[in-house]
Amino acid sequence: MSFHHLPVLLNECLDGLAIRPDGVYLDCTLGGAGHSGEILRCLGEGGLLVGIDRDAEAIEAATARLQAVESPARFLALHGNFHDAPALLREAGVGGLDGILIDLGVSSHQLDVRERGFSYHDDAKLDMRMDRTQALSAREIVNTWSEDELNRVLRDYGEEKWARQIARVICDRRRQSPVETTAQLVDIVDAAIPKKLRQGDGSHPARRTFQALRIAVNDELDPLEPALRALSELMNPGGRLCVITFHSLEDRIVKNTFRSLADPCTCPKSFPVCVCGKKPTVKLVTRKPVTASDAELEQNPRSRSASLRIVEKL
């Protein structure tokens, strides 16, 4: 099984984590272990790297890859969703983290393996499940959710201005026969968006629809803020939390959550002193997101939308 991952903002993440050789680090989105492999190389005797992924294929391939990395540190793989990291780590007997990395992008493997149904470039069955054991898939959403529900998903998760038209065409097509494949969905988007009114940025017209469905299938946004808050509580003082986002919806949640953790005071601005008693638990390391260099953009075009934000535990 080939499960590769070209890690985005790799050097920036390693610098941001400020890795200690004997520290305990968590990669919340293990994927192809691109980031984890380099973190493990930085760890020495007494160091521990924990990797979490909801994709069982990623767990298997990453474990094999990391076993080949020359490092005296230990590696522990946990199958699950990083939203449940506190419980997963507690069950594994791990606590007191010195650094956490979350890469919210879809892995290269998931995009490139046609049968996973993530890509609008290849014809495959509609799927988009990161955890292939879960019941909900893109096929079920497209064929059973109401027009209003589809409109909401496409509008809110894809920021698609043609959401209503696309939802209407989906419902029209599925009355004739079920929408089973990615190619059928691309054809629906193509029919719904007038060619002369499409985005002028060169992006594929189905990109926002596929993004929206993937987010809905994998419930990527609603649990993100509570997960970030819970993860920040697991860190030792001086520990770093690094999060890579790939679209504005994710980045907005991360930015606002980090700002709230760094400045939780709810007192009116007119108050001379704080009386609410809420104290900051982190400090912002990056006030603006870190983005890919020109050299990385040339090597890996998928990094063009990546943004990295970092906080440090007080």
Whether 166 and 236 share a structural domain = no
Whether residue 110 has pLDDT greater than 50: yes
Number of domains in the chain: 2
pLDDT (0 to 100) of residue 162:
97
User: Is pLDDT larger for residue 199 or for residue 41?
Assistant: 41
- pLDDT value for 63: 93
CATH number for the domain harbouring residue 129: 1.10.150.170
200: pLDDT confidence band, cut at 50, 70 and 90? Answer: low
Q: In this predicted structure, what is the pLDDT of residue 199?
A: 67
Q: Is residue 198 part of a domain?
A: yes
Q: Single out the residue in 218, 236, 261 at which a domain terminates.
A: 218
* pLDDT tens sequence across 145-160: 999 999 999 999 999 9
The range of the structural domain enclosing residue 148 comes to 115-218
Residue 1 has pLDDT above 50, yes or no: no
**Vertex 255, ends 150 and 91: CA angle to 5°?**
80
Residue 38 covered by a domain: yes
* Residue that terminates a domain, selected from 218, 238, 268: 218
Please state, as a whole number, how many other Cβ atoms lie within 10 Å of the Cβ of residue 180. Answer: 15
Say if 64 falls within a structural domain.
Answer: yes
Confidence at residue 251, expressed as pLDDT on a 0 to 100 scale: 97
Helix axes 147-158 and 163-176, enclosed angle (nearest 10): 140
Give yes or no for residue 233 having a pLDDT over 80.
Answer: yes
For residue 113, what pLDDT is reported? Answer: 76
How confident is the model at residue 57, as a pLDDT?
87
Element (H, E) at 282: strand 282-284
Confidence of residue 115 (pLDDT cuts 50, 70, 90): confident
Banded pLDDT at 3 (limits 50, 70, 90):
low
- Cα dihedral 221, 105, 128, 76 in deg (nearest 10): -100
Helix (H, G, I), strand (E, B) or coil at 241: strand
Nearest CA-CA partner of 113 in 102, 129, 137: 129
Last residue of a domain, one of 218, 242, 259: 218
Partners of 253 in beta bridges: none
Does residue 6 carry a pLDDT above 90?
no
25-52 per-residue burial string, b: 16 or more CB within 10 A, e: under 16: bbbbbbbbbbbbbbbbebbeeebbbbbb
In a domain, 110, yes or no: no
Residues 242 and 203 in one domain: no
Quote the DSSP letter at residue 125.
Answer: B
Q: What beta strand segments (E) does 72-205 contain?
A: 74-79, 97-103
State residue 4's pLDDT score. Answer: 55
| pLDDT given at position 269 | 86
pLDDT digits (tens, 9 = 90+) for 59-83: 998 999 999 999 999 999 999 999 9
The more confident residue out of 119 and 106 is 119
**How many whole angstroms separate alpha carbon 289 and alpha carbon 299?**
20
pLDDT of 224 over the 90 cut = yes
For residues 202 and 268, state if they share a domain: no
Q: Are residues 82 and 26 in the same domain?
A: yes
pLDDT tens-digit readout, 34-60? 999 999 999 999 999 999 999 988 899
| Residues 87 and 139 reside in one and the same domain | no
